[in-house]
Amino acid sequence: MPRIRAASVAEHRTMQRGALLDAARSLLSEGGTEALTFPALAERTGLARSSVYEYFRSRAAVVEELCAVDFPVWAAEVEAAMDRADTPEAKIEAYVRQQLALVGDRRHRAVVAISAGELDAGAREKIRAAHGGLIAMVVEALMSLGHEQPRLAAMLLQGVVDAAVRRIELGAAEEPHRITEAAVSMALRGVRG
């Protein structure tokens, strides 16, 4: 009987942590950084404010956890889109399009909403490493196109994607699909040299 009770306590804690992360995603995507507060998390989940501190020590810890949970999902979606493409150019196009398609995803909007300045050095390094993994996906396609510095080209390509993400996130005058098409066009022209 104690094992069942221990398992149910662990399951309950996992569910509570998941509920807190889901509430954090919603708060960040609805109201940005200012909306992510422990009282708001407590209200959204029905937990006492003190209970939130049992799961996370700070807002930065919440964001770090969101990145750890959500980034691999985005990366897998980008990788799957690239795997469906059959030429290096098509892989690069898929890389750009899939990332920009994810901009509307609540998980993505939540992490973008908080500034990297609120994260400690360890959290920022984890995010940089995750982005490095994303960039590594496109290096092979760039090598196939004969780039002398495929890693540099990949980082610059990601810069185009990041700029397009910011433009979409800001609610720019252009429609998101126009921003996507411009980014794809710029990326493909750039990688062709």
pLDDT value of residue 92: 96
Is residue 23 within 8 Å of residue 51, measured between CB atoms? no
pLDDT value of residue 136: 87
Is residue 41 within 8 Å of residue 52, measured between CB atoms? yes
Is residue 160 within 8 Å of residue 187, measured between CB atoms? yes
pLDDT value of residue 4: 54
For the chain, the maximum distance between any two Cα atoms, rounded to a whole number of angstroms, is 67
pLDDT value of residue 69: 84
How confident is the chain (193 residues) per 10-residue block, as mean pLDDT? 63 88 86 84 92 89 83 88 96 95 71 57 71 85 92 93 86 86 93 72
Mean pLDDT for the chain overall: 84
pLDDT in tens, 42-80: 999 999 988 999 999 988 888 888 878 888 888 899 999
Q: How far is CA 176 from CA 97, 169, 171, in A?
A: 11, 9, 8
User: What's the Rg (C-alpha) of the chain?
Assistant: 19
**Conformation bin of residue 34: beta by default, left when phi > 0, alpha when psi is -120 to 50:** alpha
